[in-house]
Amino acid sequence: MDIGSQMLHALIILFAAIFTDNILLARFLGMCSFLSVSRQVKTAVGLGLAVVMVMTFTIALDWLAYRYILQPYAIEYFRFILFIIIIAAFVQFIEMVIERYSPLLYQNLGIFLPLITVNCAVLGASLFMVIRQYNLIEAVAFGFGSGAGWMMAIVAMAGIRERLNNAKIPRGLQGPGITLIIAGIMALAFIGFTGVLSGR
Amino acid sequence: MNLFVIPIAIISGVSALLAAALIFAERVISNYGEVMLNINDKEKEFTVRGGASLLETLTDQKIFIPSACGGRGTCGYCKVKVTDGAGPLLPTEEPYMNAEERTAGIRLSCQVKLRNDLKIEIPAELLSIRQYVSTCEKIVDYTYDIKQFRLTIPERQEMKYTPGQYVQVLAPQYEKSAEEVYRAYSISSDPADKKAIELIVRRVPDGICTTYLFDYLKEGQSLNINGPYGHFYLRETTVPIIFIAGGSGIAPIKCILHHMQNMQNPRKAIFFFGVRTTRDLFLVEEMKGFESGLPDFKFIPVLSQPEPDANWRGATGWVTTAAEEYLKNQTEARTYEGYLCGSPGMIESSIKVLTGFGIPDDKIYYDKFS
C-alpha cells in the first residue's frame, strides 16, 4: 500500500471509530464514567478531552509494547496486564506533566485523569487494535477516533441531561434509569450509521 | 521452566522500568524547588519544598489545621484563607464553599498545592497548636462508663491552653480500627499543673477512640495528642455565671473552676450538673471543695432518674428545669453569662431556657458533643 491509500484507510478507521463503531454506543465500553460524569456539559467536555488524549497516546504505546515486547517472546496473552500497566503509568506521568507546565489545563482536565485509568474504553481500544491487526498509524487513528467518539457521546448525553433537569420524570426512572434509557436510544440512533463505513 | 520464567521476568521487568521512570519523572517534573510560605503577613515565614499540599506542609511545620479526613478532601474542615498564590478554586473544593467564602479566598488546605510562593492567613490560636507525645500516667474509674486519663506532657514542653479548651487524641490503628482517628476531649485538670493534663471520657458503645482508651490503653503507654483548640473559656467580666453540664461535660467546667480558684475569682457562680442516677454521679467531693475554696460558688447535682432505694435528697428532674427554677428566683437573671457543656439536646434546651430569661445569645457559650 502506498502512503496515500494508507492515509485514506487510517482516515476511514478514524471516522468509523467515531460514528459507525462508536466504542461507547456500539460496544458499551466506558459506561461507568459515561453515566456518572455526564451531568454537566462543561465537565463532560473536560473528561472527554482527557479521554481523547490518553487514548491516542496509550494506544500508540500499547502497539509498540505489543509489537516489540509481547510478539517477539510469544507472550501475547499477557497483553491485558501489560496494557493496563502502561495506561496507568502513562496517566500518572501525564498528570504530573500537566500539573507542572499548564495549571490552566490541569484545572480543567487534571482531576479527571485518575478517573481514566479505570475507564475500560481505554483498555478496550487497545485490545480491539490487537484483534483487528492495525498497524501503528491505523492504531493511532483508531485510538483518536474512539476517544473522539466517546467524547461526542458523553457531551451529547450531558446536553440531554441538562435539559432533563426541567423535564418531569417519573420518580422510579430518575437518575440512572432515565440515563440508561437515553443511552439505549442514542445507541439505536447510531445504528443508522451502520454499513456507511467499515474500518476493518 | 522457561515457559514461566521468561514471561514473568518480562512483565515484571517492564513494570519495574515504568515504576522507575515514574519515580524519576516525579523527581524531575514535580520538583517545584523551594517556595516561601508567608503566614499572617510575615508573622511566620517558612522556606519549604514545593509540590506537597498546603495541609501537609503546614503539618510538617508543626502547624495543625483541624482535619478529620486526613487530606482526602471529604470533610471540608481544613479551611484556610489564602490571600495570594493559590490559583483558582478547584472543582474538588467547590462543594464546601459558600459564596462568602469564595470571595474571601477561603480554600481547603488539603487541595491547594504549593507550586509558588504563598500568602495565607490562619487564626492566631491555631498557631499555638502543637503535637505532644504524652504518657498515660494514671487511669481513674469515676463511674461504670466514665474514666479520667492523666497524660503527662514531655519534659521541656508545655501546653499553653486557656481553661475550657480541648485537645485531640489520636487513637492509633488497633484490632478494632484499621485507620487512625482523632477525637476531641476537653481538658479537666488544674491549669496550674503544667506537667500533665487530665481528660474525662465517657465510653461510647463501639466508639473507635473510647474503646481504644478504655480497653487497650494502659498506664505507662504513650498517647499522641495535639491542641489546644476551642473557644469555650471563661470571659473576663464581672457578671454572675451559670454553668450547666451533663455527664462528662463536667470536664471543661472543672478546669475553669480550678482556674477561678487559683485566681480567687470573686464572681458569683452556680453549677448545675445533670446525670441520670446516683451510679452516674462523680466528682461530688471535688465540687464541694470548690464551694469552700471559691468566694461565691454553689454546686447543684441534679438526677433525672434517681433509684427509688438510693435515698437521694438533692434535686431531681432535668438539669435545665433545675436551672430554670433557680433563675426564676434571681432578680437580675438576664445579666448572667451561661456556660454549657453536654449533649446537643441538653445544650439546645438550656439555650432556650437562658434566652427565655433575656440572656442574649452572645452571652451563652457552649461546647457541644457530637
Spell out which residues of chain B touch residue A86, defining contact as CB-CB under 8 Å.
18
Q: What is the pLDDT of residue B289?
A: 94
pLDDT of residue A200: 54
| pLDDT < 50 regions, chain A | none
Out of B229, B259, B279, a domain closes at B229
**Is residue B370 scored above 90 in pLDDT?**
no
Q: Which residues of B touch A100 (CB under 8 A)?
A: 29-30, 32
Gap between the terminal Cα atoms of chain A: 16
User: A-chain residues within 8 Å CB-CB of B18?
Assistant: 85-86, 89
Specify whether B105 is located in the same domain as B134.
Answer: no
**Three-state secondary structure along chain A?**
CCHHHHHHHHHHHHHHHHHHCCCCCCCCCCHHHHHHCCCCHHHHHHHHHHHHHHHHHHHHHHHHHHHHHHCCCCCHHHHHHHHHHHHHHHHHHHHHHHHHHCHHHHHHHHHHHHHHHCCHHHHHHHHHHHHCCCCHHHHHHHHHHHHHHHHHHHHHHHHHHHHHCCCCCCHHHCCHHHHHHHHHHHHHHHHCCCCCCCCC
pLDDT 10s digits, B314-358: 899 999 999 999 999 988 889 999 999 998 889 999 999 999 999
Q: What is the pLDDT of residue A111?
A: 66
Question: Do B134 and B225 share a domain, yes or no?
Answer: yes
pLDDT, one tens digit per residue, over B159-178 is 889 999 999 898 888 888 88
Among residues 125-184 of chain A, which lie with CB inside 8 Å of chain B?
A: none
Q: Confirm whether B222 is domain-assigned.
A: yes
To the nearest whole angstrom, how far is the Cα of B9 from the nearest Cα of chain A? 11
Q: Mean pLDDT lowest for which of A106-115, B107-116, B120-129, B318-327? A: A106-115
Q: Are residues B203 and B245 in the same domain?
A: no
Please compute the mean of the pLDDT values over residues B211-227 and round it to a whole number: 92
CATH number at residue B341: 3.40.50.80
Count CB pairs under 8 A between chains A and B.
Answer: 48
Chain A hits for B14, CB-CB cut-off 8 Å, are 65, 69, 82, 85
More confident residue, B126 or A132: A132
> Count of domains in chain B?
3
- For chain B, the average pLDDT equals 89
Q: Which domain holds residue B259?
A: 241-368
Q: Do B14 and A93 touch (CB under 8 A)?
A: no
pLDDT, tens digit (0-9, with 9 covering 90-100), for B89-106: 877 788 888 888 888 889
Mean pLDDT value of segment B69-74:
72
B-contacting residues in A 85-124 (Cβ below 8 Å): 85-86, 89, 92-93, 96-97, 99-100, 103, 107, 111
Contacts A82 to B, Cβ<8 Å: 11, 14
* Mutation target among B3, B4, B6, B11 for the A interface, most CBs of A within 10 A: B11
| Closest CB from B25, B113, B115 relative to A93 | B25
Same domain, B132 and B121: no
Does the distance separating the beta carbons of B7 and A78 come in below 8 Å?
Answer: yes
d(CA B95, CA B267): 46
Query: Are B163 and B234 spatial neighbours (Cβ–Cβ below 8 Å)?
Result: yes
Query: Is B10 contained in some domain?
Result: no
Of A69, A97, A107, the CB nearest to B14: A69
Looking at beta carbons, which residues of chain B come within 8 Å of A103? 87, 115
Do residue B210 and residue B328 come from a single domain?
no
Report the residue of chain A nearest B23, measured CA to CA: A93
What pLDDT shows up at residue A100? 78
Q: Same domain, yes or no, for B139 and B122?
A: no
CB atoms within 10 A of CB B292: 8
Measured between CA atoms, the residue of chain B closest to residue A69 is B10
Q: What is the pLDDT of residue A108?
A: 67
> Does some domain include residue B3?
no
What integer pLDDT is reported at residue B111 of this predicted model?
Answer: 86
- First-to-last C-alpha distance (Å) of chain B: 62
Boundary of a domain, candidates B111, B126, B141: B126
Query: Which CATH number covers residue B202?
Result: 2.40.30.10
Task: Check if the beta carbon of residue A157 is closer than 8 Å to that of residue A34.
Answer: yes
Tell me the residues of chain A between 55 and 74 that have a Cβ less than 8 Å away from chain B: 65, 69, 73
As a whole number of angstroms, the distance between CA B29 and CA A65 comes to 24
- Give residue B68's pLDDT: 66
Residues B98 and B168 in one domain: no
Q: DSSP code of B279?
A: G
Q: Say yes or no: B349 and B246 in one domain.
A: yes
Residues of A in contact with B90 (CB under 8 A): 107, 111
Count of alpha carbons within 13 angstroms of residue A182, beta-carbon side: 23
For residue B19, give how far its alpha carbon lies from the nearest alpha carbon of chain A (Å): 7
| C-alpha distance from A24 to closest chain B C-alpha (Å) | 26
Same domain, B191 and B310: no
Local confidence band at B283 (pLDDT 50, 70, 90 cut-offs): very high
Ranges of H-type helices in B308-343: 319-328
Same domain flag for B203 and B180: yes
Q: Which residues of B touch A85 (CB under 8 A)?
A: 14-15, 18
In this predicted structure, the answer to whether residue B158 has a pLDDT above a threshold of 70 is: yes
Answer whether residue B75 shows pLDDT above 60. yes
Question: Would you call A86 and B18 a contact, using CB atoms and an 8 Å cutoff?
Answer: yes
- Chain A residue whose CA is closest to B10: A69
Contacts of A93 in chain B (CB under 8 A): 21-22, 25
Last residue of a domain, one of B195, B229, B263: B229
Q: Is B184 inside a domain boundary?
A: yes
Question: Per CB distance under 8 Å, which residues of B are interface residues toward A?
Answer: 6-7, 10-11, 14-15, 18-19, 21-22, 25-26, 29-30, 32, 87-88, 90-92, 113, 115
- Exposure of A22 by Cβ count < 10 A (0-12 exposed, 13-18 middle, 19+ buried)? buried
Q: Is the distance from CB of A96 to CB of B30 less than 8 angstroms?
A: yes
Q: Are both B122 and B133 inside the same structural domain?
A: no
State the pLDDT at residue A39.
82
pLDDT number for residue A96: 84
Q: Are residues B200 and B268 in the same domain?
A: no
Q: Report the gap between the CA of A100 and the closest CA in chain B (Å).
A: 6
Do B10 and A93 lie within an 8 Å CB cutoff?
no
Contact (Cβ atoms closer than 8 angstroms) between residue B253 and residue B341: yes
> CB atoms < 10 A from the CB of B263, how many?
11
Nearest-Cα residue of chain A relative to residue B92: A111
Q: Which of B10, B35, B53 should one mutate to test binding to chain A, selecting the residue with the greatest count of A CBs within 10 A? A: B10
Which H or E run contains B315? strand B315-316
In terms of DSSP bridges, do strands B241-246 and B337-342 run parallel, antiparallel, or are they unpaired?
parallel
**Do the Cβ atoms of A96 and B29 come within 8 Å?**
yes
Within a domain: B236: no
Judge: B21–A100 Cβ closer than 8 Å, yes or no: no
